[in-house]
């Protein structure tokens, strides 16, 4: 099985020992505390889960700026995006050496982690702009990732953390949320050696299903991990529970038995396109996958990125940086001529009318109106789940 990024074994930051965790929770009651952002809470969950191996906590300014600039920390270690705990006001923890981090996404703001404070540093407007442009390739506040990154504060609290829970993810998604440790263990039990990861924040239509199967066949994979984001999305994206149900139904009916693991991870979407694709590669390596599918406009939003920018960014990433391989997918669609889903670039004798295309807007309109989607576009059992969701939304 592929090694984790930067170490021989995973080093998750979640405190497994019940007695030690209980003692830390008790200790937290007497520590200075601060409610962190949803993004920072997601970072804590990813650190706790082993996905962000081998990081030990939140980055300081020198590492964050270096990572934003050229995807390497100040010591030269490869990492694609800053992992930060940014706040608007750090006065509640000023001069503290050890603090309790409170979860903004769970009622009552329970302690999600304890942090040893190494530095509290304020970022200038120029530094925030430099990081923003490097990560997102734009400063446009209409970009959901740019907006989220620039509205949580400019004060960074850096230092190692001990993670005490997985926020709401393991409770709201008990059948789906899995740590990198759990996925790596499951892959090992199944005896899989070559494993493809498919990243999604959306339900899987026929094109996604086809792309996953093409990748599995191309690399002779033993199995695939369909790995869905369970955190916060932009307005209009389909909620995780609906997406989960749709994906499970598709896999149950249209994939060979025992060839897919359906799992999810606790993180808010960045919509950072190419840089987020590289982050996806890092934590898929950590969970044991040998290949990541990177398709058209991977992790993109709007028209901020070129269709294949998330693939070409890997041209300059070597095996010294990452061990995982990238399966580069073209735009996939159902061909009426061939009667199946294919990569559009692989066939030359097709016109526009030979493909089954539906825009996202059109799909939502049809489902809300109770109209069946073409079976060439979406499996009917999947479309039914989505239709029930959109009709319930329309009725509100």
Catalytic residues: 201-202
DSSP 327-388: EE---EEEETTTTEEEEGGG-SS--GGGEE---HHHHHHHHHTTPPPPTTTS-HHHHHHHHH
Phi-psi region of 85 (alpha: psi -120 to 50; beta: other; left: phi over 0): beta
What b/e readout covers 284-317, taking b as 16+ CB neighbours within 10 angstroms? bbbbbbbbbbbbbbbbbbeebbeebbbbebbeeb
What b/e readout covers 151-180, taking b as 16+ CB neighbours within 10 angstroms? ebbebbbbbbbbbbbbbbbbeebeebbbbb
At residue 125's C-alpha, the angle toward residues 120 and 126, to 5°, is: 110
- Based on its alpha-carbon atoms, the radius of gyration of the chain, rounded to whole angstroms, reads 21
Reference 156, options 65, 51, 278; nearest CA is 65
The number of beta carbons lying within 10 Å of the beta carbon of residue 391 is 13
d(CA 179, CA 167): 13
186, with CB counted inside 10 A (0-12, 13-18, 19+), is middle
Q: How many residues does the chain have?
A: 396
Under DSSP, the state recorded for 41 is H
d(CA 62, CA 149): 18
* CA 337 to the chain's CA centroid: 35
Cis peptide upstream of residue 366 (ω within 30 degrees of 0): no
The number of beta carbons lying within 10 Å of the beta carbon of residue 350 is 15
């Amino acid at each position: 099985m592929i090694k984790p990024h930067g170490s021989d074994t995973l080093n998750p930051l979640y405190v497994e020992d019940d007695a030690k965790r209980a003692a830390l929770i008790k200790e937290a009651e007497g520590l200075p505390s601060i409610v962190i952002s949803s993004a920072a809470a997601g970072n804590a969950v990813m650190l706790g889960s082993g996905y962000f191996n081998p990081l030990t906590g939140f980055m300081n300014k020198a590492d964050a700026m270096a990572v934003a600039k050229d995807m390497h920390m100040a010591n030269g270690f490869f990492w694609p995006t800053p992992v930060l705990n940014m706040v608007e006001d750090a006065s509640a923890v000023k001069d503290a050496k050890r603090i309790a981090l409170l979860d903004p996404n769970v009622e009552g703001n329970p302690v999600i982690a304890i942090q040893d404070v190494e530095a509290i540093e304020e970022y200038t407007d120029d530094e925030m702009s430099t990081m923003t442009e490097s990560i997102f390739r734009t400063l446009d506040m209409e970009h959901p990732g740019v907006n989220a990154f620039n509205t949580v504060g400019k004060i960074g609290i850096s230092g190692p953390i001990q993670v005490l829970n997985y926020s709401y993810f393991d409770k709201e998604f008990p059948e789906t949320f899995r740590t990198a440790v759990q996925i790596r263990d499951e892959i090992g039990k199944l005896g899989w050696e070559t494993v493809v990861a498919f990243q999604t924040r959306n339900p899987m239509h026929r094109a996604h299903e086809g792309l996953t199967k093409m990748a599995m066949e191309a690399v002779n994979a033993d199995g695939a991990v369909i790995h869905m984001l369970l955190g916060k999305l932009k307005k209009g994206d389909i909620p995780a529970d609906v997406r989960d149900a749709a994906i499970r139904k598709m896999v149950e009916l249209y994939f060979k038995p025992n060839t897919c693991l359906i799992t999810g991870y606790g993180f808010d979407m960045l919509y950072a396109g190419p840089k987020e694709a590289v982050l996806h590669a890092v934590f898929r390596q950590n969970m044991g996958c040998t290949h990541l599918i990177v398709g058209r406009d991977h992790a993109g939003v709007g028209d901020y990125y070129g269709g294949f920018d998330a693939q070409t960014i890997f041209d300059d990433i070597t095996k010294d940086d990452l061990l995982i391989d990238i399966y580069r997918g073209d735009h996939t669609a159902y061909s009426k001529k061939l009667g199946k889903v294919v990569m559009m670039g692989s066939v030359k004798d097709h016109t526009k009318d030979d493909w089954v295309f539906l825009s996202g807007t059109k799909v939502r309109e049809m489902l809300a109106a109770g109209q069946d989607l073409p079976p060439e576009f979406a499996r009917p059992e999947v479309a039914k789940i989505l239709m029930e969701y959109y009709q319930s939304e329309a009725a509100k």
